[in-house]
Amino acid sequence: MKQILVVGAGSVGGFFGAYLAKDNPHVSFLLRTKTRAAVALNGLTIRSANGSFTVHPRVASDVQELPKPDLIVLGVKAYDLDEVMDQIAPVLSRETVILTLQNGIDTEDRLIARLKRDCVVGGVAYIYSKIVEPGVIDHYKKGAVAIGELMGHESERLLKIKEIFAAAGIPCQLSKDIRRSKWEKMCWNCVFNPVTVLINDSVAKALDHPEMLSVIRQIVGEVTAISATLKVPLPLDMPERVVKATQEIRDIHTSMYDDWKAGRPTEIAYLNGYIVEKGRELGIPTPVNDALTAMINAITEKDKTGRGVLKIEGAVVQPLSFDRQALRQLPDDHQIVDVTTIMPGMRGRAISVKGLLDVPALNIDADHVTFHSVDGTYAATLTLQQARDFGLLLYELDGEPFPDGKGGPFRLITPGLGDLCANVKGVGRIEVTKGPGRDTRQTTCPPSS
């Protein structure tokens, strides 16, 4: 195993990859464009109380620009695995060995299903580190791995990987049951990754509340029920082991917490979400993990933007966004199933602007509403009363999104307003204001077509 390829330079891949590259010129990195540029310019830096250092390995964003690897170390997030498999496919041979260091349970099975050969060695990383910026990793605690063959035997390639890691100064333990090792870490991950996000604090905050011990038992109990059904039984005292093992790292945040704070995606689908999915397949209830998954998705989901999303902002207590499905859920008395009954010649389903403005709490002094087209070209301002009395927003035609060609996905019409009517196509933003806002209307009402 002369040539080693590390995929990713995040908090895990960056740390272990840097140690591997410290005294080994045959270690290269496959990186995203931004990280590749940073490492190519400044090197890959590990800052740690144990000693800081910088390495300057060979890097690329195209795997074919790097030496053909004998060993590939995957240090990417679980949700990036499919993309990575596509990227490394051109350099894989029947002799290539892949070592996984992902959270979650199914990485190895996904790789084997895709590659259809015995080329995967399972791994578990034990480390607390953070990405400071592309190419710079701060290391705080631990920094070891456990590796093992999926069938449990002690192979020549397994011993060679252990030798490579040991030579780099990385503690590397051989696991006779790597699947069990992964499930044991899964128990910890399913507890503290989502909980630290929900409480917006370190693991100590959870450990110090007696009420949380019961919750931890329930989370771990659901995980162990799934693992046992999948032929990986765990000890009955697994909840207590999770709590005990966490005492020495009680001050840390988690990777999910750090990802959330940095605006990155989380691995919830591959942790608690995986438990929920398997529970449904196997007929095992997982209500606590189900709740955690739903709450983390709600907390970490980025605000929807772009076409098909309508924002209400300005003089409101809390800005809101609506998509077509959300508009359909507003009360029936604000829905106009077909505006033909009100405005002959115009078809489509609409929601009254009054119904929309009833949802957000408006500032006390708000008195006007401006409707902006999504491209910023057109706008119309109505008084708050006019908007409530006459405004309709078309959002659907024949059960489908209102067509862009007819002014969709949201189109403002104001039947009954006479010469003051407003007709704004492609509405993307409704701004509540004190005093009039922007208005690009002509003095007379344009034809509705």
Question: Is the CB of residue 308 less than 8 Å from the CB of residue 428?
Answer: no
Q: What residue spans in the chain does CATH classification 1.10.1040.10 cover? A: 179-302
Q: What is the pLDDT of residue 393?
A: 96
Which pLDDT value is given to residue 1? Answer: 84
CA angle (313, 315, 316) in 5-degree steps: 65
Q: Which two tokens stand for residue 109?
A: 């099975």
Residue 419: what pLDDT?
A: 72
- Token pair, residue 17, equals 């990859």
Q: Regarding the domain delimited by 1-176, which CATH topology (the fold level of the hierarchy) does it fall under?
A: Rossmann fold (3.40.50)
Q: Is the dihedral of CA 106, 109, 113, 117 positive or negative?
A: positive
Spatial neighbors of 143 by CB under 8 A, at least 6 apart, are 15, 16, 19, 50, 126, 127, 129, 170, 171
At 421 the pLDDT is 81
This prediction's pTM = 0.80
Domain with CATH 3.90.420.10 in the chain: 310-433
Taking the CA atoms of 305, 306, 312 and 316 in sequence, report the sign of the dihedral they define: positive
Q: Which residues pair with 314 in a beta bridge?
A: 432
| pLDDT reported for residue 189 | 97
Considering the chain, tell me which residue range(s) the CATH 3.40.50.720 domain(s) occupy: 1-176
Cβ-contact 72, 96 below 8 angstroms: yes
The ranges of the chain with pLDDT < 70 are: 303-306, 443-449
| Residue 449 confidence (pLDDT) | 38
pLDDT of amino acid 448: 42
Q: How far is 6 from 36, CA to CA, in rounded Å?
A: 12
> For 179-302, which CATH superfamily applies?
N-(1-d-carboxylethyl)-l-norvaline Dehydrogenase; domain 2 (1.10.1040.10)
Topology adopted by domain 310-433: Sulfite Oxidase; Chain A, domain 2 (3.90.420)
Please tell me the predicted confidence (pLDDT) of residue 301.
Answer: 82
